[in-house]
Structure 1
Amino acid sequence: MELTIIGCSGSFPGPESPASCYLLTAEHAGRTWRLLLDLGNGALGALQRHIRLDEIDAVAFSHLHPDHFSDICGLHVAAKWHPGGSGPGLIPIFGPEETARRAAEVYGIDPDPGMSEEFDFRHWADGQPHTVGPFTITPYAVWHPTPEAYALRVQAVDESGEVRTLTYSGDTDACEGLTEAARGADIFLCEAAYQDGRDEELRGIHLTGARVNSTAADAEAKRLFLTHIPVWTDPDKVFEAAAAHYSGETAVVAPGASYRI
């Protein structure tokens, strides 16, 4: 399984990166499968440097804030109107219960049929897994100010028969669901939007580097990759707090970078 960072800017696109979007690829049944985790503002353009849009096998949304969700509108246009078609069948879209309705509202179309002629909308339930090709995706409810927010635990079997695990935090503060989602993960891709020494008193929205550190250590995650850092947050300070006393590899991700899981 391979992770490619399409967009990692926190809260809105930055000068060097789109908002949140992560591409997972894995070989299975004689072909490459491609799963997107989130599709935030500006991500659809950058994604096309790596794959064609008709190669997307599924999209999994952590929650429905625009910096994680809004480029579903562009994908809908591509799926509906591309002269060559959008590929075989409807694209599976996993997300909160309101995903289909919200997508139609954002694009300004009637929810019936909305985007249901292009996408197969499937709803998360806390702890209930879904399978797409080689990927098993399990959502864990987390702490963020929206009706439904999830961390996503994605597993796939590698060439040696070993199960590999990526956990993506979505947006959240420290909570039990996040720790359970990250338990023993090979890569813990975790948001770190808040800066230590400035934002500790803000709770129930995002993580500081220190709170990421504590979660990664409690979960015994093997590698910690920091993402969703806004333009006003210093990534060096976040890194220092997240890496302190944590025994695993720690890094701040960059758009376009790829990592083997």
Structure 2
Amino acid sequence: MKLTIVGCTGSFPGPGSPASCYLLTAQDGDRQWKIVMDLGSGALGAIQRYTDLEDIDAIFLTHLHPDHCMDLCGLHVAVRWKPGGWGRDRIPVWGPAATADRMATAYGLDLDPGMHEEFDFSNWAERVPVKVGPFTITPFAVNHPVEEAYALRVEVTEPDKDGTPVTRVLTYSGDTDSCQGLEDAARGADLFLCEAAFEEGRDDGIKDVHLTGKRAGQAATAAGARRLLLTHIPVWTSQTAVLAEAKPEFAGDVAVAVAGVHYTV
């Protein structure tokens, strides 16, 4: 399974990265599958560096803040108005129950049909897995001030070097403060892609919104994750600071996500 960091800046795009968007690629026989976790502000342009839009097999939204979903509006235009027609069926989109209506309202469309002609919308059911190609994606409710927010646990079974099937796990926190759901989602993850929007000493008094680097490290340790990749860092938060906070809390490999970088899980 390959992870491409399309966008990793928190809250709104920064000068070096769009807002949250992550492309996952895996093989299933001769077929390569591509799924997208979040499609935040500014991400639609950047993702075209790594894939044709028509090659996206499904989109998974953690919650409905604009920095995680708003470029679905642009993708709607690409699907609806591409000269010669869109070359595939509707794109499956999983998200909170309000996703279809929220996107239609954002683009000024009537709710019926809204964007249903371009996207096949499905609602998350907490801890109920969804299967797309080689990917199994399970949503875990987490601690963020919206009606529905989820961390996503992504599992792929692929052959190891000796041909033995091995299941790899990537967990993406979405946006959250510390909670049991986050730790459950990241249990034993090979790679824990975890937000760290807040800094200790500046934001640690704010609860139930975002993690600090310290709290991200603590969550990774509690979950028994193998690697920690900090993401969703706003322009006003120091990457150096949150990395320094996380390292004493987590004994494994820790790094900061960088837009355009690929990781093998």
Q: TM-score, normalised by structure 1?
A: 0.99
Measured after TM superposition, the shift of residue 86 of structure 1 is 2.8
The share of aligned pairs that are identical, in percent, is: 57
Which ranges of structure 2 fall in alignment gaps of 5 or more residues? none
Question: How do residues 108-119 of structure 1 correspond to structure 2 at under 5 angstroms?
Answer: 108-119=108-119
For each residue in 1:50-73, what CA deviation from the matched residue of structure 2 results, as whole angstroms up to 9, or x when unmatched? Answer: 101111000000000000000000
SS in 1 for 2:159: coil
| 2:240 counterpart of 1:252 | no
For 2:190, the equivalent position in structure 1 comes to 186
| 2:232 counterpart of 1:232 | no
Distance of 1:83 and 1:132 partners within structure 2: 28
The count of aligned residue pairs is: 261
For 2:52, the equivalent position in structure 1 comes to 52
In the alignment, is the contact (CA less than 8 A) between 2:151 and 2:185 conserved in 1?
yes
Question: How do residues 189-208 of structure 1 correspond to structure 2 at under 5 angstroms?
Answer: 189-208=193-212
For 2:42, the equivalent position in structure 1 comes to 42
For each residue in 1:111-163, what CA deviation from the matched residue of structure 2 results, as whole angstroms up to 9, or x when unmatched? Answer: 10001011100100110000111100000000001000000000111222100
Letter in 1 for 2:31: R
Measured after TM superposition, the shift of residue 85 of structure 1 is 3.0
In the alignment, is the contact (CA less than 8 A) between 1:189 and 1:225 conserved in 2?
yes
Measured after TM superposition, the shift of residue 6 of structure 1 is 0.1
In the alignment, is the contact (CA less than 8 A) between 2:214 and 2:249 conserved in 1?
no
SS in 1 for 2:101: helix
Say what the alpha-carbon RMSD is for the aligned residues: 0.8
For 1:163, the equivalent position in structure 2 comes to 167
Which ranges of structure 1 fall in alignment gaps of 5 or more residues? none
Distance of 2:36 and 2:87 partners within structure 1: 16
In the alignment, is the contact (CA less than 8 A) between 1:55 and 1:87 conserved in 2?
no
Distance of 2:26 and 2:225 partners within structure 1: 21
For 1:100, the equivalent position in structure 2 comes to 100
For 2:221, the equivalent position in structure 1 comes to 217
**Which has the higher mean CA deviation after the structures are superposed, 40-49 or 28-37?**
28-37
